[in-house]
Chain A
C-alpha cells in the first residue's frame, strides 16, 4: 500500500519568493492536514482539509494557504517567503478527519536564504 507522498522533498528559495508543496494521500484517505516543524517552535498545525473544504486552520499568517482537490491531493502555498519559514513541512492523512490513525509523509524541507 503506497504511503503519503510529498513533493518536492527538498527545496531552496530566497526571501520574497513563493513556494508550492504537494501532498498525495494514501488511497481512500480524504483528510489531509499540514504541519510545520522547526527546532524552535516544534510541530505546529497549519490547516486541515476534508473533501475539498478547509475544516480547521492554525495560527499562521495569511501568507500560508492551501487547497485540496477532488482526488484528495492537497497543496499548500507560502507567499513572500521569510527566513523564518525555513522548516520541514509535513502532511498527514487519514480516513476520516476525527477518528483513527493519521499517517505522515516524509516531508518537504524548505530552506529560505
Chain B
C-alpha cells in the first residue's frame, strides 16, 4: 500500500528566501499531485506530475518528480506572505485513489 511522507511538517520562512518541501512515497505511483489548502478552505490543485523528470512551474512554485528515487519536491523561490498555506502532496497507488502526505504548513513572515 502506498505511503506518502512529507517533510518538514512546519516551515517558517522569511519573505524573499528559498526553500524546498520534500515528498517521499513508498511504492510506484502513476502520478504525483501537489495541492494547496488555506485555513478552512478546500484543496487547490497546483501541479500534476506524470512522468520521471517532470518539472512544472507556476509563479514562485516549482515542482519536480524523480520516480526512481520516489521523491517529489516543491521548491519555493523568493517567498511572499501570500504563499502562507498548507501544502499537500499525494500519490496514486491504484485507480484514482489519492494517498496524501501529512501536509507542510508554510508560514512566510516579513
Residues of A within 8 A of B (CB): 31, 33, 35, 42-45, 48, 55-56, 58, 90, 92, 94, 97-107
Chief secondary structure at chain A's binding surface: strand
Q: Which residue from chain B places its CB closest to the CB of A42 in the assembled complex?
A: B102
Query: Are the CB atoms of A35 and B98 closer together than 8 Å?
Result: yes
| Residue B78 CB within 8 A of the other chain | no
Task: Report B25-61 CB contacts with A as 1/0, cut-off 8 Å.
Answer: 0000011010100000111110010000000000000
Q: How far is the CA of A98 from the CA of B95 in the complex (A)?
A: 5
**Distance to closest chain B CB from A96 (angstroms):** 8
Q: Which residue from chain A places its CB closest to the CB of B103 in the assembled complex?
A: A42
3 closest A-B pairs by beta carbon, nearest first, are A43-B100, A104-B43, A97-B96
The range of chain B's interface size is 20 to 34
**Distance to closest chain B CB from A8 (angstroms):** 15
Q: Are A92 and B98 also in contact (CB < 8 A) when A43-B88, A101-B45 are?
A: yes
**Distance to closest chain B CB from A43 (angstroms):** 4
Residues of B within 8 A of A (CB): 30-31, 33, 35, 41-45, 48, 88, 90, 92, 94-100, 102-103
Query: Are the CB atoms of A45 and B42 closer together than 8 Å?
Result: no
CB contacts (< 8 Å) of A106 on chain B: these are 41-42
Q: Which residue from chain A places its CB closest to the CB of B100 in the assembled complex?
A: A43
CB contacts (< 8 Å) of B48 on chain A: these are 100-101
CB contacts (< 8 Å) of A45 on chain B: these are 97-99
Q: Are A90 and B42 also in contact (CB < 8 A) when A42-B103, A102-B33 are?
A: yes
Q: How far is the CA of A55 from the CA of B42 in the complex (A)?
A: 24
Q: Are A48 and B42 also in contact (CB < 8 A) when A98-B30, A101-B48, A102-B33 are?
A: no
Q: How far is the CA of A31 from the CA of B33 in the complex (A)?
A: 17
Q: Are A33 and B98 also in contact (CB < 8 A) when A98-B30, A102-B33 are?
A: yes
CB contacts (< 8 Å) of A56 on chain B: these are 94-97
CB contacts (< 8 Å) of B100 on chain A: these are 35, 42-44
